[in-house]
């Protein structure tokens, strides 16, 4: 009887405690809910978030980026929303075209005037800046943990994070579906012979197959990297690692084949004439005006290439295939640029306040950035809803992928590739000249 009584009393005691705890918990939940509602109301009315503050001195931070699809966000939205959230922080924005962006950033850092925040590429492209001590360690930014780990790893050196990844992207062939139909092309090519057949069918109808803006040398990377994906990495996915051990060279057959195939497109009139006189922007305009059926570009060109032109047509995208009929296609999928911070003394706290506010889910600045970002999202809360992108990823699902090839090279090798291929277009060099120049530069700077 005593045991039963103790048991009953214990149960009653536990129930009473549970009731009290429940009441207390409900009160806390109500208080937390009210607090969150207050924060939401304040955020909605002021456009600021009370969770993010900066109590340091007034400061002007310099931000540099590559001219592209997100100009309005970087030039207008970013500085305005940062200053609204942090009245004592001003953002000074500087944009530069891709062809002289790298050299300008490098010179600024070398002279002690590097930017406070800047766009830059991952892996080997970032390594020299990190090793020189120009970049701020961002490992303590909690928001980085909300991005895909494999993408964050591309900006990690010696277990320290140096950038927030903006997304992933791919190089691709943009094509005019109406012109393809006019030429009787019903399916996108999946190997080299099928691609050449497409070009021949377009030419037979008097349609220029391809336009490129080779005056801007960097665009030469778009086609050559897509070509190289299958020509080189289908047979040897470890090619880049082996460059550093001496087991492979740029003068090997894979790279020679890559350049020869790309040159073939120019030599046979598949590419619009006089492309050395066309800029990247002019080539994009020619494509959206319907003056050529294809252009080699990237998913990052979405805003420019989906814009209205002189001709209305449905767009499509496919990977430029260099593989033979009996070989599997390898397609490009790569980390896009990241936002790095300069290791500028006295600006560290302000920079981290801005980047935390920018890349933390739910802030007004995060929402504005996510809306404007042309890259494929790599933040865990975001997904890409663009039908054309989804179709592309589904088409190549299960096939091998390769990053932008220069991600694995030291700085300078890609410049040799593009400059020398301009000479190929002009009829002053050949594939052997290109690969020799690349190998020579690699040996010099590795």
* The pLDDT of residue 27: 45
Tens-digit pLDDT profile for residues 280-301: 999 999 999 999 999 999 999 9
- With cut-offs at 50, 70 and 90, classify the pLDDT of residue 5: very low
* The pLDDT of residue 99: 76
Distances, alpha carbon 283 to alpha carbons 70, 177, 262, 292, in Å: 19, 18, 17, 9
Tens-digit pLDDT profile for residues 366-393: 999 999 999 999 999 999 999 999 999 9
Could you list the beta-strand ranges (E) of 243-372.
294-298, 315-318, 331-332, 334-335, 338-341
Report which of 359, 371, 351 is spatially closest to residue 90, judged by C-alpha positions: 351
- Domains of the chain, by residue range, sit at 59-168+336-372, 171-332+409-445
Determine if the pTM surpasses 0.75: yes
Least confident of 68-72, 116-120, 348-352: 68-72
Q: What is the mean pLDDT of residues 233-239?
A: 97
Q: How does DSSP assign 132-181, residue by residue?
A: TT-B---TT-GGGGGB-HHHHHTTEETTEE-EEE--EE-EEEEEEHHHHH
State yes or no: pLDDT of 313 exceeds 80: yes
* The pLDDT of residue 47: 64
Q: What is the mean pLDDT of residues 405-428?
A: 97
Tens-digit pLDDT profile for residues 197-228: 999 999 999 999 999 999 999 999 999 999 99
* The pLDDT of residue 100: 87
Q: What is the mean pLDDT of residues 337-366?
A: 98
Domain 59-168+336-372 in CATH 3.40.50.10320? The answer is no
Fold match, 59-168+336-372 / 171-332+409-445: yes
* The pLDDT of residue 69: 61
- With cut-offs at 50, 70 and 90, classify the pLDDT of residue 413: very high
Q: What integer best gives the mean pLDDT of the chain?
A: 91
Percent of the chain with pLDDT over 70: 89
Strand-pair category, 338-341 with 117-120: antiparallel
Q: How does DSSP assign 377-432, residue by residue?
A: P-BTT-----HHHHHHHHHTTTS-EE--GGGGS-TTHHHHHHHHHHHHHTTS--HH
Tens-digit pLDDT profile for residues 141-173: 999 999 999 999 999 999 999 999 999 999 999
Tens-digit pLDDT profile for residues 29-49: 444 454 445 544 445 445 678
- With cut-offs at 50, 70 and 90, classify the pLDDT of residue 4: very low
Tokens of 66: 């590559």
CATH code reported for the domain at 171-332+409-445: 3.40.190.10
Report which of 23, 92, 69 is spatially closest to residue 301, judged by C-alpha positions: 69
* The pLDDT of residue 203: 98
Answer with the residue of higher pLDDT: 40 or 350.
Answer: 350
Percent of the chain with pLDDT over 90: 86
CA atoms within 13 A on the CB side of 34: 6
């Amino acid at each position: 009887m005593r045991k039963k009584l103790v048991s009953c009393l214990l149960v009653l005691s536990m129930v009473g405690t549970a009731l009290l705890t429940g009441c207390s918990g409900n009160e806390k939940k109500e208080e937390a809910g009210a607090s969150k509602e207050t924060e939401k109301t304040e955020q909605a009315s002021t456009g600021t978030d009370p969770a993010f503050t900066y109590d340091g001195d007034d400061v002007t931070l310099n931000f540099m980026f590559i001219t592209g699809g997100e100009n309005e966000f970087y030039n207008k939205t970013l500085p305005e929303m940062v200053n609204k959230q942090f009245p004592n922080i001003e953002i000074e924005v500087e944009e530069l075209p891709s062809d002289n962006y790298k050299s300008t950033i490098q010179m600024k850092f070398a002279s002690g005037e590097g930017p406070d925040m800047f766009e830059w590429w991952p892996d080997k492209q970032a390594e020299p800046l990190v090793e020189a001590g120009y970049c701020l360690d961002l490992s303590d930014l909690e928001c980085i943990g909300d991005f895909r780990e494999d993408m964050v790893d591309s900006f990690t050196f010696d277990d320290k994070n140096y950038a927030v990844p903006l997304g992933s992207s791919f190089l691709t062939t943009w094509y005019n579906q109406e012109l393809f139909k006019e030429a009787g092309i019903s399916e996108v090519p999946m190997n080299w012979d099928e691609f050449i057949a497409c070009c021949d069918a377009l030419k037979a109808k008097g349609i220029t197959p391809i336009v490129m803006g080779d005056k801007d040398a960097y665009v030469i990377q778009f086609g050559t990297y897509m070509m190289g994906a299958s020509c080189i990495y289908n047979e040897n996915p470890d090619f880049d690692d082996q460059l550093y051990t001496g087991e492979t060279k740029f003068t090997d057959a894979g790279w020679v084949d890559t350049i020869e195939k790309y040159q073939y497109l120019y030599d046979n009139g598949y590419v619009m004439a006089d492309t050395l006189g066309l800029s990247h922007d002019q080539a994009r305009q020619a494509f959206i005006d319907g003056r050529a059926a294809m252009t080699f570009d990237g998913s990052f060109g979405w805003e420019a290439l989906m814009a209205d032109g002189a001709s209305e047509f449905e767009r499509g995208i496919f990977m430029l295939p260099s593989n033979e009929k009996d070989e599997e296609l390898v397609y490009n999928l790569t980390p896009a640029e990241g936002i790095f911070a300069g290791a500028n003394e006295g600006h560290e706290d302000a920079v981290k306040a801005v980047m935390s506010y920018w890349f933390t889910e739910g802030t007004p600045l995060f929402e504005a950035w996510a809306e404007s970002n042309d890259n494929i999202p790599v933040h865990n809360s975001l997904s890409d809803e663009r039908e054309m992108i989804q179709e592309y990823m589904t088409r190549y699902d299960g096939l091998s992928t390769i990053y932008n090839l220069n991600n694995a090279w030291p700085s300078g090798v890609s410049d040799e590739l593009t400059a020398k291929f301009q000479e190929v277009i002009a009829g002053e060099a050949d594939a052997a000249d290109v690969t020799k120049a690349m190998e020579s530069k690699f040996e010099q700077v590795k």
